[in-house]
Amino acid sequence: GPSYNIIPEPVRIEQKQGMTQNLRFDIKNAKLDPSLGAEGYALDITPQGISIRYADKRGLENAKITILQLEDQLGASPAGIPCGTITDKPAYAWRGMMCDVARSFMPLEDLKKFVDVMHFYKFNVLHLHLTDDQGWRFPVPGYDRLKTVASTRGPGDGGGPGWMPASSGMYTAQELKDLVAYCKARGIDVVPEIDVPGHNQALCEAYPELFCQNPSADKVEAFKQTQAYTSKNDAQKQELLTAPQDVKTRRSGGVSYHLLCPQSKEMWKFYEAAVKQLADIFPGKIIHLGGDEAPAERWELCAACTEARKAKGQKNTNEEMRGFFKDMTSLLAKYGKEAQFWFELEDDFYQKGQTVYTWRLGKTPATVNATKKAGLKLVLTPGEHCYLDYPQLPGHSNRGWMPMVTLEKCYQLDPTQGKPADQVDHIVGVHCTLWAEQLPTLEHTLYRAYPRAMAVAEKGWSPKSAWSWERFQQKMEAHKKPFEKRFGYTLERTMDNEPAVKP
């Protein structure tokens, strides 16, 4: 029968005779044992207390978390919990959560609370989405308008879908270094993201010269005759032809047409300074470059881009995108960093060996195959299971368009994709997103993040043989009370206890 209420479920549990009320351990007696495998640990739970073996620094952290969860269980059953041994290590090396501090700024203290909870479920990557249309959140020396212009956003237009409370704020470099240290102490890596070449209206308001400039009147007239233009609605038509000098930090969700101009020297100078700054703050190897949702109409229209495509023999804007990603990747390499991207299925934008994320609804099976063929590594963030900004209970707001992602739907994530191991050996792990257009505070974010992230955590950690939806639900129920005590935050999700989005 059920023994330990541990999420994610350990690889192996051997129950022994007897019960214990004694979960004490002496960290000085913990034994290093690399044979347990990366991040692995083993616990011997006896009436005399617990002894620990661990494979590495993270393994020791994981052992401590498991013991905390056992303490919670003992708290609920004072007669004792069963004796036994636990031998454990993660199925996947990458278990991440993305926090979108660009759409809604989150003060450092709140970010640390977000980290505390993800740590409790053995996530090991914090992905910070630091820039987007709605805000720029870290300083770059010499570019003061990032703070005075790009880090401030007014409230969204009107109520209903697309409406967002105002949000302003920028971290100092020192605050971000504090966060990195806080995460490091808990075995968590931090991956910063700067989204290029789209998703950048905040930057555009501050520094319009980094973006494609308006095309000539002739070109605009000709463009107006094309299907690409006539098929758009009036608002889209207007946005598309707005001069970068008139673009404002975006106050709704959606996709911006304004792209960085790969032909702008100032643009490369700016990103060199930005990458240098990120390299100074974040010791990890990775910088996520976004790369999602960058409609290419303005590259098509831009005189400088058109000329450059011709000169370089690029047949179209897809080839231009590939070239741009390659140049950005080289810029990162100068600072010892590797690029990651949100995968856009339609096109072959990436360099062999790079890591991309599958995210688009319905696209994951095809993406798994395409990335395997292209020699890419893959992080699983399918919208159907891992987009935790989506509603979790029928009756919760879907913001006008979002699909329902119930806890059970999250638990249905299968990182093996039901395929033979050699077809999915490029999958490095699982990742949740908390896009924050409609998540203005930590409270809103945690409400949507949990308990669903616990399901994703189990799928990233536990082997298939240890998965059980029935058991998972029981364990989640058992976590509710102690979770509230630990984090001062409820795991109850009802029809009407979601915090409202207020101005």
Catalytic residues: 132, 199, 293
> How far is it, in rounded angstroms, from Cα 356 to Cα 350?
8
Half-sphere exposure of 167 (CA within 13 A, CB side): 32
Please name which of 104, 179, 175 lies closest in space to residue 138, comparing C-alpha atoms: 175
Please name which of 199, 301, 317 lies closest in space to residue 260, comparing C-alpha atoms: 199
Contact partners, residue 28, CB within 8 Å, separation at least 6: none
Q: Is the C-alpha dihedral spanning 301, 343, 198, 141 positive or negative?
A: negative
Residue from the set 120, 182, 257, 342 that interacts with ligand NAG by CB under 6 A: 342
Contact mark string toward ligand NAG, 415..454, x via CB under 6 A: --------------------x-x-----------------
Contact partners, residue 313, CB within 8 Å, separation at least 6: none
> How far is it, in rounded angstroms, from Cα 283 to Cα 269?
22
> How far is it, in rounded angstroms, from Cα 465 to Cα 34?
24
Secondary structure class of 131 (helix, strand, coil): strand
Q: Is the C-alpha dihedral spanning 158, 160, 165, 171 positive or negative?
A: negative
Secondary structure class of 128 (helix, strand, coil): strand
Judged by CB, which is closer to ligand NAG: 124, or 433? 433
Q: Is 470 exposed, middle or buried (0-12, 13-18, 19+ CB in 10 A)?
A: exposed
> How far is it, in rounded angstroms, from Cα 89 to Cα 34?
11
Contact mark string toward ligand NAG, 274..303, x via CB under 6 A: ------------------xx----------
Give the nearest distance from C-beta 292 to ligand NAG in angstroms. 4
Q: Residues 460, 410: contact at Cβ < 8 Å?
A: no
Judged by CB, which is closer to ligand NAG: 282, or 387? 387
Asked whether position 359 contacts ligand NAG by CB under 6 A, the answer is: yes
Give the nearest distance from C-beta 254 to ligand NAG in angstroms. 9
Asked whether position 343 contacts ligand NAG by CB under 6 A, the answer is: no
> How far is it, in rounded angstroms, from Cα 235 to Cα 140?
33
Please name which of 149, 126, 125 lies closest in space to residue 139, comparing C-alpha atoms: 149
Asked whether position 325 contacts ligand NAG by CB under 6 A, the answer is: no
Judged by CB, which is closer to ligand NAG: 257, or 387? 387
Give the nearest distance from C-beta 216 to ligand NAG in angstroms. 32
Contact mark string toward ligand NAG, 364..393, x via CB under 6 A: -----------------------x-x----
Q: Tell me which residue has its CB nearest to ligand NAG.
A: 435
Q: What count of other Cβ atoms lies within 10 Å of the Cβ of residue 246?
A: 10
Distance of CA 477 to the CA centre of its chain: 26
Judged by CB, which is closer to ligand NAG: 320, or 437? 437
Amino acid of residue 111: L
> How far is it, in rounded angstroms, from Cα 88 to Cα 368?
27
Give the nearest distance from C-beta 261 to ligand NAG in angstroms. 21
Please name which of 328, 203, 207 lies closest in space to residue 275, comparing C-alpha atoms: 328
Q: Is 496 exposed, middle or buried (0-12, 13-18, 19+ CB in 10 A)?
A: exposed
* 108-120 helix and 173-185 helix, angle to the nearest 10 degrees: 20
Hey, what are 269's tokens?
Answer: 């100078």
Residues of the shown chain interacting with ligand NAG in the complex, contacts defined by CB under 6 A = 292-293, 342, 359, 387, 389, 435, 437
